[in-house]
Amino acid sequence: MQIPGDSQWQMIASGLAFPEGPVWTGERLWVSNCYGQRITQISLPETASRTWISADSSSPWSHTNGLAIGPDERLYACEFQHGMIIRFDAAGVSEVVSKGYQKAPFTRPNDLAFDRWGNLYFTDSGHYRTENPDGRVYRLAAGSQQVSVAAENLAFPNGLAFSSDYQVVYVAESARQCITRFEIAPDGNLLNPTHFAELPGGDPDGMAFDTDGNLWVAHFGAGQVVIFSPDGGMLGKIATPGRKPSNVAFGGTDLRTLFLTEDETNCVYQIHVPVNGLDLPFTKF
């Protein structure tokens, strides 16, 4: 695979506030502003950006991170300030989906992804440490309010991504600077954790698969996107415009555009890549 050069990045939005959670819906890219209390919409190909919705004193939410489209055609978000999962309808009306587990709020919901059956998995990072790690992956069963612990004792779990057959999920453990691979049991629990890849010198953050089974990872603090083959071998790196790339998403008409949120420059960028991104199960919003 021919890895694009770092000079090919194009800025498509600026003036953001710690952008994160990019999600593509066919003609638009949606991006969280983690510390700006707003969600930004970027229309393409003209790359016009605007604030889609902002939190105010009456909102049940304030600080969102990861975003995903659900089977109900709503935009789901990790809300880390209050420890919740929320969702928005097309008009921007918000609703709390889950406030926590066993009557306790989540510690720090970070990133989220749906499987093809509509079950929602999300990371709750906990505290940034490798000793006595308290991070978890939760599962919200499709069409219900049933939240269960799918995996625990993780060291600041961050981005997560499903394999194309939805039998395996990959989780970035930022504090360990590695990516862990889990098999998904019939009941939805994550089993048999194995070491997939290491990313020294920074934190693995958001990530996305292409159709060849390669995993593209935002390497926060190291200023690069790293591409891993299905067996965990490193295929290459793309230097990013700043040292704090936080997340990636495939989009464009042929899913050959890689979008990047970058938190040192507080911008969103795009680059053309030589492979198609893996289709997400739900994209209509």
| Domains of the chain by start residue, with CATH | 6-272 (2.120.10.30)
pLDDT at 9: 97
197-217 per-residue burial string, b: 16 or more CB within 10 A, e: under 16: bebeebbbbbbbbbeeebbbb
Q: Does the pLDDT value for residue 6 go beyond 90?
A: no
Rounded CA-CA distance 50/101 in Å is 34
Rounded CA-CA distance 59/94 in Å is 8
> What number is the average pLDDT over the span 69-94?
97
What's the predicted TM-score (pTM) here? Answer: 0.97
Residue 82 is classified by DSSP as T
- Element housing 179 (H / E): strand 178-184
27 near 7, Cβ under 8 Å?
Answer: no
Residue-wise pLDDT tens digits, 134-146:
999 999 999 898 9
Q: Does the pLDDT value for residue 188 go beyond 90?
A: yes
From the CB of residue 8, how many other CB atoms can be counted at a distance below 10 Å? 12
Rounded CA-CA distance 113/161 in Å is 7
Q: Does the pLDDT value for residue 46 go beyond 90?
A: no
Residue type at 60? P
169 near 161, Cβ under 8 Å?
Answer: yes
Residue 253 tokens read as 């008409």
Residue-wise pLDDT tens digits, 230-274:
999 999 999 999 999 999 999 999 999 999 999 999 999 999 999
